[in-house]
Amino acid sequence: MTDTTSTHHPQGARVALVTGAGRRIGRAIALGMAQAGWDVAVHYRRSEQEAHEVADAIHALGRRAVAVHADLSDGAAVRAMPARVLQSLGRLDCIVNNASLFEYDKPDDFSPGLLATHMQCNVAAPLLLAQELHALTAPDGRAVVVNLLDQKLYNLNPDFLSYTLSKAALHTATTLLAQALAPRLRVVGVAPGITMVSGDQTEDGFAQAHTATPLGRSSTPQDIVDAVCYAAGATALTGTTLLVDGGQHLVPLRRDVMFLTNQ
């Protein structure tokens, strides 16, 4: 873990740990939270250079930042992360579980091993982080966990079976953790629609998919940042999920939208 903290910033600022914050939506969330006044721990697994660049950008905004390495499939490393952030930045008020494994499978090629890997990274790691944050939060303190989910949970199709099952489990865990860990910990879900090009999707295919919603557009990275910042600060919000998808979940599809627009 490399500390790139600012020396002039007050130690009482709120601190967030964002998993998978070196790239894509995680990067946007980390920078957006810094712009909203948070100090940020930037978690990464492989994207070391990108994570340090995000930390440097946060520092340039006048906030403190630290880059934190951990493999989310390693339970001991996951458990240690909140305490490492606390040691470096002095407090921890929020964990954003953004990092996800997203590998393709479907029912006719289902693999128990792939499901287990998805469940470890996408469910077990967020559960362990919530458990540790609860343990580190004083009885009279208040902290929050924000779980990144997916509009697919409200508009099911069999593509990405193991990923979908893992996000469904995390969705249920959002409710159960909110019940079990209150009042010290709030737990909120944010479910984006199609937000960035992913996998083998073409730019053309993404543009088609992104506009195939009732509002004529799905979520942008800034929409997700705004929702996460709102959830992190809305002290009466817990055990619920914000769908941020332009209404994509209202349009039933027999396959994942990324395939329909690439045909």
- Angstrom distance (rounded) from CA 57 to CA 61: 7
Q: Does a structural domain hold residue 207?
A: no
Q: Does a structural domain hold residue 135?
A: yes
Q: Check which CATH number belongs to the domain holding 127 and give it.
A: 3.40.50.720
For residue 45, give its domain range.
15-196+219-246
Angle in degrees, CA 147, 235, 92, rounded to 5: 60
Task: For 48-78, write each residue's pLDDT tens digit.
Answer: 999 999 999 999 999 999 999 999 999 999 9
When pLDDT is averaged across residues 173-188 and rounded to a whole number, the result is 98
Residue whose token pair is 């967030």:
16
Q: How confident is the model at residue 11 (pLDDT cuts 50, 70, 90)?
A: low
pTM of the complete model: 0.92
Task: For 124-164, write each residue's pLDDT tens digit.
Answer: 999 999 999 999 999 999 999 999 999 999 999 999 999 99
- Angstrom distance (rounded) from CA 58 to CA 66: 9
- Angstrom distance (rounded) from CA 263 to CA 156: 20
Catalytic machinery residues: 163
Q: Does a structural domain hold residue 88?
A: yes
When pLDDT is averaged across residues 230-234 and rounded to a whole number, the result is 98
Q: Does a structural domain hold residue 259?
A: no
Number of domains in the chain: 1
